[in-house]
Structure formats: structure tokens, C-alpha cells
Amino acid sequence: MSKFASKAAKAPVNMLEGPIWKGILYFAIPIFFGNLFQQLYNTADTLIVGNFIGKEALAAVSSSGNLIFMMVGFLNGMAMGAGVLISKAYGAKDHEGMRRTIHTDLAFGVVAGLTLTVVGLLITPTILRWMGTPETVLPNSIAYFRVYFLGSTASFLYNICTGILQAIGDSRHPLYFLIISSVTNVALDLLFIAVFHWGVASAAAATVISQCLSAVLCLRQLLRTDGPHKVYLKEIRLHIPTLKNIIRFGLPSGVQNSVIAFANVIMQSNINAFGDSAMAGCGSYSKIEGFAFLPVTCFSMALATFVGQNLGAKQHDRVNQGARFGVFCSMLVAESFGIFVFLFAPQIIGLFNTDPEVVAYGVLQARTISLFYCLLALNHCMAGVLRGAGKPTVPMLVMLVCWCVIRVAYVTAVVPILETIQVVFSAYPLTWTISALFFLYYYFKSDWLHHFDRMEASENA
């Protein structure tokens, strides 16, 4: 890790004072490295399965992303509501409100995680069949998903604990825990698949074990800290008024995540119709696209925390300057990576599987989408800014209309006419462009920046 990244890992980062660029970058860089390690171990699953088991197994694992996100996206979106409340309370130095939110959030995580485990185990086969998963792939897909959902509680608790730390400016410890988890996952993948030959389900088992480890480490950090975010096991319970606030802030993001993921499941079913080579090629590309999400995710999360804390401290000018800086940086880095993917797509896709048909599908998707990564960054960072400002309904509506309704309608109408998979690929840059225009119009034309104060005045009335 670079010297700059090492400095950036000092926690908590002060986002309320000092140079804006330093506060955002020092917070975002550890998130970037943490997400990088997470993406590396997700990619390791695909690389190891594709090279040691074969194309059908690769297709089974590759189809996992959209279904998993559909199941967990709602709960992770709800956790974002708690993050906004914690950031706001931290900026306003409301330690009691912060404490109630943290303990309620953890209680919600336990209940939601256990519920997701049961639901995931029961409905996975039905959804996979509804998606049109080929019979050659179906048994491995069912086994992979069922094992994966056994770790739902650990995964969700880790995301909640990470959100708590990041909300107060600590992005250092989540980085450390993800590094440990990533190394563990890759080692177990190699042991289970390459040495013991236990098959596709063992890749999910390796992921579950690593998620449990990261959740334990993150919760341990919250139990041992002396800061205002310290967790006390005996206080973990559902405080109903606080839970209502978490739901009020988190429900739009949860609905947004779930419906977008549902739309992507429909998109995946269109890809499945072109066969297991298309599934494997597109699944390989999705792992590459995951790396493009790294700068997008870290800046989006940094902006949500930055905006929440500074609005809590009533520093509106600082909010505006930080928002523009973060959006620009994210777009620049994402587009640079997109150009790299466009140029070297054949070589990168070939790392996952050397079947010419698999490589051809992956390259076609990469070269249709990758030059538009700047728009992906713009959309997610604008959504992060608005979530931090307490307006999660706006990104929810924009993304539901553009990324769900318009995207699915376009594919449903055009694929039967042209009968080419490139129609599915082109739907992504098309709808990113439309939603970006909506976000830019709202950002420059509305009075979103002062909404936070009006909402606070209403709550105190």
C-alpha cells in the first residue's frame, strides 16, 4: 500500500475541518483498497472455478451476482438509512442518538439476516428456474446459492458494522478486516476446489467462512473501542422510534436496490437464453466490471458520509464543494479504467476461460459498455450525495424509472426483433445516460442542499 494510502487509513478522518480534498480522499482510499480486496476474492472464486472445474461450473457461479444482490440489496439499502442517521448525529455531536441508532441497527441486522437465510434456502430453486437457467447449470447453481445464503447473517452484520465505522470517519479497520477475509477466502477456494475437488458449493462455503471471520473482527472492534460508537451487547435491541427513522431513511435505498436487482435478474434471464457460453462470458465480464465499481463505490460512500456530517454541522458551502470534487474524481478514475478494459478485453476475459465462444461474449459486452463507466460513476455519486442529504427518495425514483422500467422495456421490445445479445448490453449505457441527465437537472435546479435543515426544523417543532 502506498504511503498516501497508509496516511489515509488513519481513523477517524476529520471531514468537518481542513482541506475538502484531503478529507474525502483520506476516507475514500481505504474503502477503495478494502473493496479491491473484496473484488479480488470474488474474482478468485470465478477464476478458480472456471479453470479447475469447467465452463458449466463457471456459468453456475457467474449467474450468482444479480440473484444474490436481489436478495441482500434491500437489507443493505436499509442499513444505509442508519449510516445517514449516524453521520448526522456524529456531526451534531448527538452521542446519545448515535448510540440508540447503532444498537437498533445491529438488532435489525440479526433479525433480517436470519430471515434472509430461511427465504434464500427456500426460494432459490424457483427463482433460478424462473430465470431460465439451463438444466446443465441448474444443480450447481442451486448448491452454490443455498450454501451462500447460510452466511447471510454474517454478511449483513459485517455490512452494518462497516457502515457504523465509516459513518464516523473510520475506513481503516474495515480495510484491515477485508484484507484478512480476502486472503482467507482465496486460500480456502484453492484448498476446497483445487486440492480436495469438492465442487462448486465449496466455493460458496469458502465465501461464507470468510464472511463470518470479517463479521466477528468488525464487531470485536466496535466492542473494544472507547469512542461514542462503542457497542454494548446488552443494549442491542430494537428501539422502535429509532427503527422507524432508520426505515424512513433506508427504505427508499432498500427498494431501489431490490427493484434494480430484480430488473438485472430479468436481464440475466435474457442472457441465459443465449446459452451457457453467454452466461460464462458475461459472468466473467461482470467480475471485470466489479473493478470499475471500486472508485464509484468508495467515492459514493465517502460523499454520503461527508455530506451527512457537514450538513449536521450546517456547513453548506463545504457540502457543495465536496460533492463536486468527489463526483469529478470518481468519473475520472472510472473512465480511465473503462478505456483500459476496452483495449485489453480479450486478454482479460481469457483469464477466466479460454473457450473462444466464452471469450467472444465477454469481449462484446466489455466493448459495448466500458467506455461509459464515467456515467455510472456520475449516477452513483449523485445518489450518494442525495442520500447523505437525507433525500434517498430522489435516487430511488430516478433509478427505478431509468434502470428498471426503461431498461427492461427496451430489452423486452427490441431483443425479439433483432435477436442479438448486444441489445441487452446496450441497455446499460443507454439507461445510464438518461438517469445522468435527470440527476444533473435535479442537482442544479432544485434546493436539495437546504432540505436537511427544513427537515430538522420540522422534527424539532
Q: How far is CA 126 from CA 71, 148, 194, 361, in A?
A: 13, 16, 30, 27
Q: How far is CA 337 from CA 1, 175, 288, 291, 334, in A?
A: 19, 22, 10, 8, 5
Q: Is 231 left (phi over 0), alpha (psi -120 to 50) or beta?
A: beta
User: Distance between CA atoms of 459 and 450, rounded to whole angstroms?
Assistant: 15
Lowest mean pLDDT among 1-15, 28-42, 167-181, 282-296: 1-15
In a domain, 181, yes or no: yes
In a domain, 459, yes or no: no
Provide the pLDDT confidence category of residue 6 given band limits of 50, 70 and 90: very low
Q: Is the pLDDT of residue 171 over 80?
A: no
In a domain, 14, yes or no: no
- How confident is the model at residue 447, as a pLDDT? 67
Provide the pLDDT confidence category of residue 250 given band limits of 50, 70 and 90: confident
Q: Is the pLDDT of residue 429 over 50?
A: yes
Q: 51 exposed, middle or buried (CB, 10 Å; 0-12, 13-18, 19+)?
A: middle
Q: Give me the chain's average pLDDT, please.
A: 84
CA 53 to chain centre: 28
Q: How far is CA 274 from CA 141, 285, 407, 425, in A?
A: 17, 16, 19, 13
Q: Locate cell 436539495: which residue?
A: 448
Q: Is the pLDDT of residue 7 over 50?
A: no
Q: Is the pLDDT of residue 336 over 80?
A: yes
What residue numbers bound the domain in which 397 lies? 19-452
Phi, psi of 65 (to 5 degrees): -55, -50
- How confident is the model at residue 103, as a pLDDT? 94
Q: Is the pLDDT of residue 230 over 80?
A: yes
In a domain, 350, yes or no: yes
Mean pLDDT: which of 39-53, 201-215, 347-361, 426-440 is highest?
426-440
Query: pTM of the entire structure?
Result: 0.69
In a domain, 8, yes or no: no
Residue bearing the bigger pLDDT, 325 or 76: 325
Q: Is the pLDDT of residue 168 over 70?
A: yes
In a domain, 11, yes or no: no
Mean pLDDT: which of 25-34, 77-86, 392-401 is highest?
392-401
In a domain, 460, yes or no: no
Residue bearing the bigger pLDDT, 258 or 248: 248
Q: 392 exposed, middle or buried (CB, 10 Å; 0-12, 13-18, 19+)?
A: buried
Average pLDDT over residues 418-429: 93
Given a contact cutoff of 8 angstroms between Cβ atoms, the answer to whether 82 and 238 are in contact is: no
Q: How many structural domains does the chain have?
A: 1
User: Distance between CA atoms of 394 and 115, rounded to whole angstroms?
Assistant: 28
User: Distance between CA atoms of 229 and 13, rounded to whole angstroms?
Assistant: 14
Q: 399 exposed, middle or buried (CB, 10 Å; 0-12, 13-18, 19+)?
A: buried
Q: What are 141-157's pLDDT values in tens digits?
A: 888 888 888 888 898 88
In a domain, 141, yes or no: yes
Q: Which of 374, 323, 320, 369 is nearest to 342 (CA)?
A: 369
Average pLDDT over residues 346-367: 92
Provide the pLDDT confidence category of residue 368 given band limits of 50, 70 and 90: very high
Q: Is the pLDDT of residue 102 over 50?
A: yes
Q: What are 31-79's pLDDT values in tens digits?
A: 788 777 777 766 776 778 777 776 677 766 665 566 666 667 777 777 7
Average pLDDT over residues 81-107: 87
Q: Is the pLDDT of residue 5 over 70?
A: no
